[in-house]
């Protein structure tokens, strides 16, 4: 199954006094990657709202903090669908520290010698709601078509 | 003129990797104090919106960062009206480090020996907008009555 | 076992364009409550660092988002120890919407008719690290004594 | 004088319940652009700290909020040096809404018909501090050489 990757740079705003990325901020990184993943699939959340009156909300997260990210780290945040239900879907997301900007990242022949390091792993369940009632609502068909068969 | 004070504790979320409060976060502290100041005057922003279709937005800020706050600091954030126009008003706000919780803060006879320290000073201009058009809109009369003569 | 409660007010900074509290921000609320819980037990994290060279970091979170909080909501955030190991401990935390400020909250005879509503529930595992090596490190004995027998 | 530009996408984390970017968050966008501007000049803040024991802190900001950004907006954040002193320097920064990703942005012949829109303008004064004493400290010579003659 397709695994989407999105680059995130760590800025001062992301760190805390311990010198590491504040634990809540990885959830921001993960949502940026989810937003860009949907955009790559052709779905803008603004369009989902306007055309389908559909909101996507987070219902559950589980996050393992393995190693900390620090200021200036270049991160890759992945997003991979793991299951799709009628009115919700689940993704697995990893935050990985890379040592080169993503442009060179896939270049096997480059001189990079430092391996990627897994920092954070999360599982997120998202639900689709009817914007007008905030009640659970089927995933709109065009979105369902795409995430059902992402490859 | 009345000077409102609101207590803010510095948590990890507020600091950055330099070990000090991140510069944007003082603007959060200042808005908390403004929200509580309006509440003390009897105005809930939710009511302003529902009853008067009025939003309050920030149009201009000017902030001096004098000394940094750090994790666990106990701060007082002030809010003092400095001018009122038809569709906007200005406040002066200070962020002050205190060495005791605010309950004991006014107790002249307490054993405190450390003086309060001014950390940040800001001037903020706020405008009232019509929620439906986002156009500038007079300050609703009940709010105007109160902020025109705050004492 | 003792359940600690800490009051949090929802400000504009906490909400997102959906009109509800952004999902990562509940983790901020939960850490505020943990910080205050340790303070109530007599432990300042600054002292833990200076006297014991001990940092507390989050290793795992699991969060259920049940109902959303909105601007101006008055919340109670709980913190309850669920287990203590050599170099880590776990807490259960709830975010509850209340309809009165916490001063009156325990007054059974008050005229309140709206029940408290559970919005978010989380389980957090925290580890103690040696600040100088960032390696796992036993919970300092004075803290262990207190959290081992919190009542 | 050279004007640096950095692209920022607006995510849910940046907006507030009013449906617009929260006013403090533009300061985050502006710092991202300053960090990338220094990186483009060849200066990593981590190196400045390690090699020169030099920290860069914000001493003063003045921000005009002209029009709001909303979720999904594609923004350009500029950074332009306006003055350099012994131990501080000033930048002018604009937040501009663009209608296309920056790759196509300079292509005069593209079919874009919507003009860029200035949303926010800020002036920021930054000071260099000695990390060990937190006292004002001359701008390190290599950085000074570059920002004195940026073109």
Parallel, antiparallel or unpaired: strands C117-130 and C54-65: antiparallel
pLDDT at A108: 46
Contact A9, A70 (CB under 8 A): no
**Cα of B21 to nearest chain A Cα, Å:** 8
* Owning domain of residue D120: 4-103+113-148
Q: Which residue has the higher pLDDT, D145 or C78?
A: C78
pLDDT tens for each residue of C71-113: 999 999 999 999 999 999 999 999 999 976 544 444 444 445 5
Write out the two tokens for C41: 């037990």
Please determine, for the modelled complex, whether the ipTM score is greater than 0.95: no
Contact status of D65 with chain C (Cβ, < 8 Å): no
Contact list, C65 vs chain A (CB under 8 Å): 57-61
**3-state DSSP call for residue D79?**
strand
Can you give the pLDDT at residue B114?
A: 67
CA distance D15 to D69: 9
Active site residue C132: no
Q: Determine, for residues A24 and C18 on separate chains, whether the beta-carbon distance falls below 8 Å.
A: no
Which chain B residues are closer than 8 Å to A17 by Cβ? Answer: 12, 15-17, 19-20, 70-71
Lowest mean pLDDT among A44-48, A99-103, B49-53, B111-115: A99-103
The pLDDT of residue C136 is 94
Residues in chain D closer than 8 A to B57 (CB atoms): 18, 20, 23, 65, 68
D68: Cα within 13 Å, side-chain hemisphere: 20
- What percent of chain D lies above the pLDDT cut of 90? 77
A38: part of which helix (H) or strand (E)? helix A25-40
Q: What is the pLDDT of residue B87?
A: 96
Query: Average pLDDT in the D23-51 region?
Result: 95
Q: Which pLDDT score, from 0 to 100, does residue C106 have?
A: 46
> What is the predicted pLDDT for the residue at B106?
46
Instruction: Give D44's contacts (C-beta < 8 A, 6+ positions apart).
Output: A72, D38
Pairwise CB contact (< 8 Å): D65 & B58: yes
Distance CA D31, CA A72 (A): 13
Distance from CA of D84 to the nearest CA of C (A): 34
Instruction: Tell me what the mean pLDDT of segment D48-70 comes to.
Output: 95
Mutate to test the interface with D, among A21, A26, A71, A131 (most CBs of D within 10 A): A71
HSE value, Cβ hemisphere, 13 Å, CA-based, for D101? 1
Among the listed residues D39, D113, D123, D28, the one whose alpha carbon sits nearest the alpha carbon of residue D69: D28
What's the average model confidence in pLDDT over A93-100? 90
The verdict on residue A141 lying in a domain is: yes
Does residue A11 form part of some domain?
yes
D111 vs C: CB within 8 A: no
Q: Evaluate whether residue A15 is within a structural domain.
A: yes
Specify the range with the lowest mean pLDDT, choosing from C45-49, C65-69, D84-88.
Answer: C45-49
Q: Does D108 map to a domain?
A: no
Among residues A80, A77, A76, A101, the alpha carbon closest in space to that of A89 is found at: A80
pLDDT at D148: 82
**Which ranges of chain B have pLDDT less than 70?**
1-2, 100-114, 149-151
Instruction: Give the pLDDT of residue D3.
Output: 85
Selected residue of D13, D18, D21, D24 to mutate for chain B interface (largest B Cβ count, 10 A): D24
Q: Is the pLDDT of residue D71 over 80?
A: yes
Write down the pLDDT at residue C149.
67
Residues of B in contact with A71 (CB under 8 A): 17
Share of chain A above pLDDT 70, in %: 87
Q: Identify which of A16, B95, B70, B12 has the alpha carbon closest to the alpha carbon of residue C36.
A: B12
Q: What domain count does chain C have?
A: 1
pLDDT attached to residue D115: 82
Q: For D19, which residue in chain C has the nearest alpha carbon?
A: C17
Instruction: Among A13-22, C20-29, C94-103, D99-108, name the one with the lowest average pLDDT.
Output: D99-108
B20-60, pLDDT tens digit by residue? Answer: 999 999 999 999 999 999 999 999 999 999 999 999 999 99
For the segment C3-26, the average pLDDT, to the nearest whole number, is: 96
How far is C36 from chain B, CA to nearest CA, in Å? 10
Mutation target to probe the A interface, by most A beta carbons within 10 A, among B13, B15, B16, B17 is B17
Which of these, D119, D75, D72, D121, lies nearest to D98 by C-alpha position?
D75
Q: Is residue D26 part of a domain?
A: yes
Mean pLDDT of A30-56: 94
Please judge whether A72 and D45 are an interchain contact, meaning their C-beta atoms are less than 8 angstroms apart. Answer: yes
pLDDT per position as a tens digit, A122-133: 999 999 999 888
Q: How far is B22 from chain C (nearest CA, A)?
A: 14
Chain A residues lying within 8 Å of B13, measured CB to CB: 16, 22, 24
- pLDDT at C65 (0 to 100): 98
Digit-coded pLDDT (tens) for A50-64: 999 999 999 999 999
Q: CA of A32 to nearest chain D CA: how many angstroms apart? A: 7
pLDDT at A134: 87
Residue in A25, A60, A64 closest to C64 by CB: A60
Q: Residue B102: how many CA atoms within 13 Å on its side-chain side?
A: 13
User: Which of C14, C16, C132, C151 is labelled catalytic?
Assistant: C16
Q: Taking a contact as any Cβ pair under 8 Å apart, which residues of chain A between 77 and 106 contact chain B?
A: none
Exposed/middle/buried for residue B53 (C-beta within 10 Å: 0-12, 13-18, 19+): middle
Enzyme catalytic residues of B:
16
Residue-level pLDDT at A75: 98
Overall size of chain C counted in residues: 151
- C27: CATH: 3.10.129.10
Contact C92, C100 (CB under 8 A): no
User: What is residue C104's predicted lDDT score, i.e. its pLDDT?
Assistant: 43
pLDDT at position D140 is 94
């Amino acid at each position: 199954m397709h695994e989407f990757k999105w680059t995130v740079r760590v800025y001062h705003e992301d760190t805390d006094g311990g010198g590491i990325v504040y634990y809540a901020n990885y959830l921001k990184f993960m949502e940026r990657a989810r937003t860009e993943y949907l955009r790559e699939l052709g779905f803008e959340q603004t369009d989902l709202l306007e055309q389908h009156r559909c909101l996507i909300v987070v219902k559950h997260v589980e996050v393992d903090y393995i190693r900390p990210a620090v200021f200036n780290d270049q991160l890759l945040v992945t997003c991979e669908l793991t299951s799709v239900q009628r009115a919700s879907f689940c993704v697995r997301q990893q935050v990985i520290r890379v040592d080169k900007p993503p442009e060179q990242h896939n270049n096997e022949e480059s001189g990079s010698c430092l391996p990627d390091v897994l920092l954070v792993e999360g599982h997120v369940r998202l639900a689709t709601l009817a914007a007008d009632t905030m009640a659970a609502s089927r995933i709109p068909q065009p979105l369902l078509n795409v995430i059902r068969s992402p490859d």
